[in-house]
């Protein structure tokens, strides 16, 4: 099996399909590609948006020097409780990434040099999507890397294109990975660097 199914995930997808945006957690292969080539310098942190049940968090642990270099922001309270049980050493905030500009400085004084997003930008409400992008604009300093994924079948969807266009206006061209086939559905990993 490529993606492992999780009752927690299916339950939240049924409850809130546009926020959760996927029926199963991402695969290990997609998680590896999401983290590939990333490294932190001393005193820097990784910020994860929408960790869900922790598919990417597992891999992020390999690049952080210690647990204080990680913050996860997750909107679903039940995912947050799940994450706190699964990764007791890491800090998760049950909050909305659209309020990232106030949430992050309240919980960390380290610059977030790597931002890993599992957020379903193509299905989020435009107002929420745009607030998150505005927050990224405030948080990302020169050198900051923002990485997310988009499903191949949804890549041409108007909402997915609109997300990329808005990102382009602030952060310029992105790098697109080869298709990650070992994920259902297959996905591209997209990287912007300020
Ligand atoms: C497609 S799932 C990805 C989960 C996980 N990263 C993975 O790849 O398996 C999207 C996640 O983003 C969370 N989410 C959606 N909107 C959010 C928001 N505005 N702020 C924080 N988390 C949000 C959902 O609750 C869900 O956990």
Pocket test for ligand 1, best of 8, 16, 118 (most atoms within 8 A of CB): 118
Mean pLDDT by 10 residues, the chain (194 residues): 75 77 87 96 96 97 95 96 97 97 96 97 95 97 97 96 97 97 96 96
- Pocket of ligand 1, beta carbon within 6 A: 19-22, 25-26, 49-52, 55-56, 73-76, 79, 96-98, 118-120, 128
Q: What is the pLDDT of residue 148?
A: 98
Q: Provide the CATH number for the domain around residue 80.
A: 3.40.50.150
Q: What is the pLDDT of residue 108?
A: 96
Distances (CA, A) of 177 to 34, 145, 187: 9, 15, 9
Kindly report the protein residue whose alpha carbon is nearest to atom 15 of ligand 1. Answer: 19
Let me know if residue 14 belongs to a domain. yes
Let me know if residue 2 belongs to a domain. no
Count of structural domains, the chain = 1
Q: What is the pLDDT of residue 139?
A: 96
Q: Output the CA 37–ligand 1 centroid distance in Å.
A: 23
Let me know if residue 1 belongs to a domain. no
* Residue 20 belongs to domain spanning: 7-193
Q: How far apart are CA 88 and CA 124, in angstroms?
A: 29
Let me know if residue 183 belongs to a domain. yes
Q: What is the pLDDT of residue 161?
A: 97
Q: What is the pLDDT of residue 183?
A: 95
């Amino acid at each position: 099996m490529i993606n492992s199914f999780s009752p927690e995930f299916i339950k939240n997808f049924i409850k809130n399909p546009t926020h959760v945006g996927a029926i199963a957690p991402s695969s290990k292969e997609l998680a590896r590609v999401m983290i590939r080539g990333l490294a932190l310098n001393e005193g820097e942190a990784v910020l994860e948006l929408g960790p869900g049940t922790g598919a990417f968090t597992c891999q992020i642990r390999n690049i952080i020097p210690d647990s204080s270099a990680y913050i996860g922001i997750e909107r679903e309270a039940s995912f947050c409780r799940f994450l706190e049980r699964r990764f007791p050493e890491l800090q998760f905030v049950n909050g909305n990434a659209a309020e990232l500009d106030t949430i992050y400085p309240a919980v960390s004084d380290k610059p977030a040099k790597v931002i890993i997003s599992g957020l379903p930008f193509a299905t989020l409400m435009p107002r929420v999507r745009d607030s998150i992008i505005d927050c990224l604009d405030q948080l990302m300093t020169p050198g900051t890397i923002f990485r997310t994924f988009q499903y191949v079948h949804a890549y041409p969807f108007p909402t997915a294109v609109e997300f990329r266009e808005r990102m382009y206006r602030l952060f310029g061209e992105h790098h697109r990975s080869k298709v990650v086939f070992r994920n259902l559905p297959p996905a591209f990993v997209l990287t912007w660097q300020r």
